[in-house]
Structure 1
């Protein structure tokens, strides 16, 4: 599972291994009667063929990313609690839920928990993120525990507390880590597991059940971190648990702001597509209105509608007309949105990419700061600490000299997501903390 901290993601220990020939794994499904039997030599393991879905962290962006048109659910990271660091909220979470609902799919939650060994802290962490949850009551709220100190009593307490608050409690992790650090059988006797097991890092659109983490009460199998080229976690629902919180037609049973925005988009007829709305291009779309092929990088990601002409729409970043049947509405809001940043900010560091320079202010950036938070120098005015422009606009570089700057534009807002805002600066998207915007 991809997490907020790149170091954590790189250091995650993955478990490998075949199911023992002496074990006959039977996973019953309440969602479908279809089954897939996998020959394991002298024995067979049967696992229900069920709905496919994905799970997301900050690395899938504010819009999220599905692997295939048949995906039915997404489990989005609200944030996490990291030993020695505390809370790290995911600014991408609210719109990931909104866009999932807008596409008629089911959204669920997970939080990363590292080094929580007492009930008081576990309750505080869960309360912190339950307050931010945008999914319906009864939807999944999973604890992701795959590193750091932990114990069975606190994990069981956390799952009990989640369940008491009206969510579906699940435990995510790698079997080897969980069995080495917890009494996993006791937990599985009461709560469903979401276990990960990968055969390799080749693109894997379907589970390889020869690599199945044999254990009781597995509700979801995360069978790959390379669901598509470039990386994406792929999951399969083995029991129908991702239906929790939703009707048979995938409608959320209760509403939140993200759900309401998603439902508005899902219920807006395509004939009402208007300039300013946000849409995505279907994976199945093949040709522009002019007949040229639509490249894959255009599909499945959000685009603003720049113009509408009858059945044709012109999209930001595409600059070719498409038939409206080839797009899906993600956000029906058409209101023009701009923002200003009128403070005086410290240049914490200068960054350069492909010969172009950028300024970074750590307070304005979204943790963990990277090139997505860096401001092109074309819009930076160097000042003194009081905001008075300097006569010499030559930057001193990363040499310990305190430098200050202002941003003097009224910037187009490309996206708002929780505590973050994406603006267009010198033709580039920049994510900053919304608290600094006016």
Structure 2
């Protein structure tokens, strides 16, 4: 074969292969079908939701309604009204604190009444957000029973029910059946496969940015029409090419493979706030060596982020034991260090800004020293380190 022809063929094949790779990466880009917001995002205007719709193709918004048995999100009503004014489908969620069936029913009644007062329309989804310490301390069977009780009660208010939880908890701490569930799992690598395609929705980012809105947002890709009630939106993005470009940029710049999945030195002494299972390996399916009661002092030598959790290693007389100190999102605090701190108990109406101002700290410094970000939800009764 002529060398020039061969070279041309090779160059052509290479170009085709690169084009295939580009198409493949583009096709794997996760979509921003749904955004969820809470009091942490502050007041959100109709214009902001219109921008999300037109520039990023957002179809639905799920707003926080309530938490536990007493907390009502102060922005729920305005979010619901403004989302509807922007022509987007609206849903709600309740941050669960229940540990028993009776508590689940009581929280569902509270969430349902609060949603009605905030004018969440009948037929919307009112999901239970199950990721708290209260559920981590329960068995899978107990969590399943409680979740079913919550969802059955929610349906009495005319809302459709679903469960939101992390990928590491799905079918581990609770059952999530196919074609149900809203599952969180990230960081997402754009060139990789999409996750949780057998469920209703996949939350693939907790820090997406929109042009005219401040801060980071949780965004999800929808696999079914459950969160859009089987309806096609009557309002379409004004610039489909902009939507495509913006979503590609969000995938490219926001999500990178985690560099934290390595053991790092961490010589610390922890005092357990609650009972924690000590395991033989870095997995929630590893055998349990012992259940360490609250108040136990644990000395560690290394730490790692793996499988959706932050783990520490405890040297023992016959090897090592491993225990969870929290999920990688740091939205929960299972343990505290032995260092003396001053704590502040969050009250209704508090925000990162008000607490930081009172403590003489910046919001970022306050959040960082609590292992969180300024976009992490805080709730009444939670204790934060202020110095």
Name the TM-score class by shorter chain. Answer: 0.3 to 0.5
Higher strand share: 1
TM-score (ref. length: structure 1): 0.41
